[in-house]
């Protein structure tokens, strides 16, 4: 972070003072807009004052048109514009005891399309990010196989590979809101979700190479991190579409995403896609490790608990407007959002403006891929009326995204995981957006 200039600090004070005069819900948006302005000002070459920025507007010729810009490889690995410095992952500190075993969220309100930039992919660590030297990393396959094998990264990359676009979602996404709405930002209500193109070797290829023995039913995937993160995967999934992934969005995995190699189980809860993969063991029963018993099991109201809840069921949310992206003004408005299902393709998305009394079918934008983020939009003419915005996705199995009341009726409020209910944004007459639930 650059330190702000004195002028900017003054400006910040002004914005703060002015914001204090506004009602609370407007204050945040005003501050946000003000901050974007100051961020731009602070980093502009010699310009220190807002008034000066007029000189870059027509009919004047902007500063950057009158001087040469940076040359090639001045930034050998490209970075986003400095004006985008508020587009970052964020965490909710009170959620976890520390930052090592914790989670951060993707700024979904700033995303376009169905791919999340790798540096903005949400993070979930159980023992921090290990710093792995790929030359000293090995993947072992042992257990009920004819030949226990040990692969170097070079070995792995000699096998035939595939690339697929899939979402990855933490099953705790939205889990803070079983009892009531409490997150005043899309980033925190839905941001444990990202989409990427993943490249790797099919797990079935590696298992066939080792020779699976009769009676094999499960595969344990284990990470090389300090948590030795481990999950049991049924053999059917292992031999179906599970990948051993080394690349994400065209480059080697980021350390945060499992560099140099991770498992990827499309459509399943994120933690089954074990990162920093060091070992796969074939066996005839599940291991029932900590992250599949104590955690990642779904406690119901009667005290029983559902386990091996792998699939992320269909879900959707409107990403614009949202609390961080209030409506800018009356007139034609592009409602936009994302939908996804761990059971296949999104077939349809409906949108309600009145809290679920009536629904209209939205337009699907761009690619519709299995187990991938899918973008939808709808144009409405907004004239300042209050709205209760909702989206409802239906996947190719015919499963309809449930209401929160239906989920609570079936599960109670202590499940933590797999809350895929219809979400409600309340739009106020001034365009501000609040996170609410309908009782």
Q: Please list every residue from 28 through 57 that binds other proteins, using CB under 8 A.
A: 28, 31-32, 35, 38-39
Residue 110 within binding range of other proteins, rule CB under 8 A: no
Rounded to whole angstroms, how far apart are CA atoms 154 and 158? 7
CB 392 within 8 A of CB 402: no
Q: Which two tokens stand for residue 315?
A: 């879900």
Q: Which of residues 333-352 bind other proteins (CB under 8 A)?
A: 348, 350
Residue 272 near residue 243, CB atoms below 8 Å: no
Are 346 and 397 spatial neighbours (Cβ–Cβ below 8 Å)? no
Q: Give 60 or 361: the residue with its C-beta nearer to other proteins.
A: 361
Binding of residue 363 to other proteins (CB under 8 A): no
Q: Which of 132, 144, 227, 433 binds other proteins (CB under 8 A)?
A: 227
List 401, 417, 419, 425, residue binding other proteins (CB under 8 A): 401
Sites for other proteins among residues 284-303 (CB under 8 A): 285, 287-290, 293-294, 297, 299, 301-303
Q: Report, in Å, the least distance between residue 341 CB and other proteins.
A: 11
Q: Is 414 in the site for other proteins (CB under 8 A)?
A: yes
Q: List CB contacts of 162: < 8 A, sequence separation 6 or more.
A: 199, 200, 201, 202, 243
Between 250 and 385, name the residue whose CB sits nearer to other proteins: 385
CA atoms in the 13 A half-sphere facing the CB of 218:
15
C-alpha neighbours within 13 Å on the C-beta side of residue 266: 28
Q: Of 235-294, which residues contact other proteins (CB under 8 A)? A: 278-279, 281, 283, 285, 287-290, 293-294
**Residue 169 is inside which H or E element, if any?**
strand 162-169
Question: Least Å distance between CB 301 and other proteins?
Answer: 7
> C-beta of 59: minimal distance to other proteins in Å?
32
Do 298 and 284 touch, CB atoms closer than 8 A?
Answer: no
Q: How many residues bind other proteins (CB under 8 A)?
A: 115
Give 114 or 141: the residue with its C-beta nearer to other proteins.
141
Out of 37, 359, 377, 380, the residue judged to bind other proteins by CB under 8 A: 359
> Is 411 one of the binding residues for other proteins (CB under 8 A)?
yes
Shortest Cβ 264–other proteins spacing (Å): 20
Among 26, 254, 308, 345, binds other proteins (CB under 8 A): 308
Contacts of 233 (CB under 8 A, 6+ apart): 218, 219, 220, 221, 242, 263, 265, 272
Burial bucket for residue 112 (CB in 10 Å: 0-12, 13-18, 19+): exposed
Closer to other proteins by Cβ: residue 254 or 308: 308
Residues numbered 123 to 142 that lie near other proteins (CB under 8 A) are: 126-128, 140-142
Nearest to 316 by CA among 256, 364, 261, 264: 364
Indicate the pairing of strand 331-340 with strand 374-382.
antiparallel
């Amino acid at each position: 972070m650059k330190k702000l200039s004195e002028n900017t600090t003054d400006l910040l004070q002004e914005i703060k003072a002015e914001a204090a005069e506004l009602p609370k819900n407007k204050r945040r948006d005003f501050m946000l807009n003000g901050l974007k302005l100051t961020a731009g000002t602070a980093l502009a070459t010699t310009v220190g004052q807002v008034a000066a920025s007029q000189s870059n507007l027509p009919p004047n010729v902007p500063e950057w048109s009158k001087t040469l810009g940076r040359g090639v490889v001045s930034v050998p690995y490209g970075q986003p514009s400095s004006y985008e410095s508020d587009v970052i992952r964020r965490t909710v500190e009170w959620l976890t005891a520390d930052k090592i075993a914790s989670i951060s969220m993707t700024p979904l309100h700033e995303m376009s399309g169905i791919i999340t930039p790798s540096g903005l992919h949400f993070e979930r660590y159980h023992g921090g990010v290990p710093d792995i030297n790929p030359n000293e990393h090995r993947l072992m396959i042992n257990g009920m196989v004819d030949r226990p094998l040990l692969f170097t990264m070079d070995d792995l990359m000699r096998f035939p590979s595939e690339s697929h676009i899939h979402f990855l979602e933490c099953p705790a996404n939205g889990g803070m809101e079983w009892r009531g709405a409490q997150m005043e930002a899309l980033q925190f209500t839905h941001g444990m979700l990202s989409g990427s193109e993943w490249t790797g070797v099919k797990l079935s290829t590696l298992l066939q190479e080792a020779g699976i023995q009769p009676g094999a039913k499960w595969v344990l995937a284990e990470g090389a991190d300090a948590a030795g993160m481990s999950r049991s995967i049924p053999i059917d999934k292992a031999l179906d579409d599970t990948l051993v992934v080394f690349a994400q969005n065209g480059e080697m995995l980021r350390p945060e995403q499992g560099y140099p190699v991770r498992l990827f189980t499309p459509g399943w809860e994120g933690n089954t896609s074990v990162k920093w993969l060091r070992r796969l063991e074939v066996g005839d029963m599940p291991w029932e490790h900590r992250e599949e018993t104590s955690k990642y099991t779904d406690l119901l109201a009667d005290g029983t608990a559902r386990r091996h809840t792998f699939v992320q069921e269909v879900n959707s949310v409107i990403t614009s407007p949202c609390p961080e992206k209030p409506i800018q003004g009356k007139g034609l408005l592009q409602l936009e959002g994302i939908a996804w299902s761990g059971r296949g393709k999104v077939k349809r998305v409906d949108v309600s403006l009145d809290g679920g009394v009536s629904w209209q079918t939205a337009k699907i934008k761009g690619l519709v891929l299995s187990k991938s983020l899918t973008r939808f939009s709808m144009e409405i003419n907004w004239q300042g009326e209050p709205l209760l915005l909702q989206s409802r996705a239906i996947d190719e199995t015919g499963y309809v995204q449930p209401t929160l009341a239906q989920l609570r009726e079936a599960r109670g409020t202590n499940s933590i995981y797999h809350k895929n209910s219809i979400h409600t944004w309340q739009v106020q007459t001034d365009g501000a957006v609040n996170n609410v639930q309908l009782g």
